[in-house]
Amino acid sequence: MKVTVVGAGNVGATCADVLATREIANEVVLVDIKEGFAEGKALDIWQKAPIIGYDTRTVGVTGDYSRTADSDVVVITSGLPRKPGMSRDDLISTNAGIVKSVTEQVVKYSPNAIIIIVSNPLDVMTYQAHLTSGKDRTKVFGMAGILDTARYRAFLAEALNVSPKDIQAVLMGGHGDTMVPLPRYTTVGGIPVTELLDKETLDAIVDRTAKGGGELVKLMGTSAWYAPGAAAAQMVEAIVRDQRRVFPVCIKLEGEYGIDGVYLGAPVILGKNGIEKVIELQLNDEEKALLETSRGHVKEVMDALDKMSQTNA
């Protein structure tokens, strides 16, 4: 098994490190446009192998996608963070161009690869990669839900003073402020979380989760990388090992939840073929309203990308 991670920044390097440490693939190729950057990160990870004890070979290359040929899974983390004075449209335009270029190279050398998008803005970058690759929606999807649920579960574990291992949860919708919390589908050792925490506490945890990325930026001055990188690696593991894990991922909905043509987080079964099945939950009226709000937000950003594409055509 061969996995490529495009972008050797903090998120990409963390993803590659987790993939190697957990021996999820035989070879992990790290790609970056900065000369020597991916080579250095990959070499550092490889030199850790005798210490931790793993066999996965990590290789770094500068812009040479021929070295990624025949990858089974490709994780795309490329893109620039939003800088002071940069509008949302500027960020979308810049990163869409990067994701488009990377996806073209990925498809050229690994036509059968399953593609996982981590680049931001996540939902619309997944849309861009899907358009560029021409692949089925089951083969191109985004990582956001696993990260959001991980934050949610971590905060719940703190509040309840229990192991995060015993908390199962699912969130839906867009990544960030418009995510859709589903406390009804959250359990602690099989016990509904609504029986263990009052609504006020739950609401506060949900709000903190939605703003989870912003909290870290305020603390560190930059975006998170350990949890996002590990989340992407967990998705790769589910595919490579055909685990058929149930995860929330960003996918193009085609009628599910009454939504068509919009990229939103939804629970799916993830296995060797990519998304094996989209799971439709029976949402109540409040949850449906929140999902519709999220849909509208994501569609607005998708429309902005479409307008840019038409202008540049």
Contact partners, residue 145, CB within 8 Å, separation at least 6: 170, 171, 172, 175, 247, 248, 249, 250, 265, 266, 267
Q: Mean pLDDT of successive 10-residue segments in the chain (313 residues)?
A: 97 98 98 98 98 98 98 96 69 93 98 97 95 97 95 98 97 89 95 97 95 90 93 98 98 97 97 98 96 95 88 64
pLDDT given for residue 83 in this prediction: 67
Cα 104 from Cα 96, distance rounded (Å): 12
Binding-site annotation: residue ranges for NAD(+) = 7-12, 32, 95, 118-120
pLDDT given for residue 221 in this prediction: 86
Kind of pairing between the strands at 114-117 and 73-76: parallel
State the distance between the two ends of the chain, measured CA to CA, in whole angstroms.
38
| Positive or negative torsion for Cα 13, 275, 147, 154 | negative
Binding-site annotation: residue ranges = 7-12, 32, 82, 88, 95, 118-120, 151
Residue 295 CA: distances (Å) to CA of 126, 232, 250, 269, 276: 15, 23, 12, 21, 23
Kind of pairing between the strands at 167-168 and 73-76: unpaired
Chain centroid to CA 82: 18
pLDDT given for residue 223 in this prediction: 85
Asked about 175 being catalytic, the answer comes back as yes
Write down the catalytic residue from 2, 130, 175, 299: 175
pLDDT given for residue 99 in this prediction: 97
Binding-site annotation: residue ranges for substrate = 82, 88, 120, 151
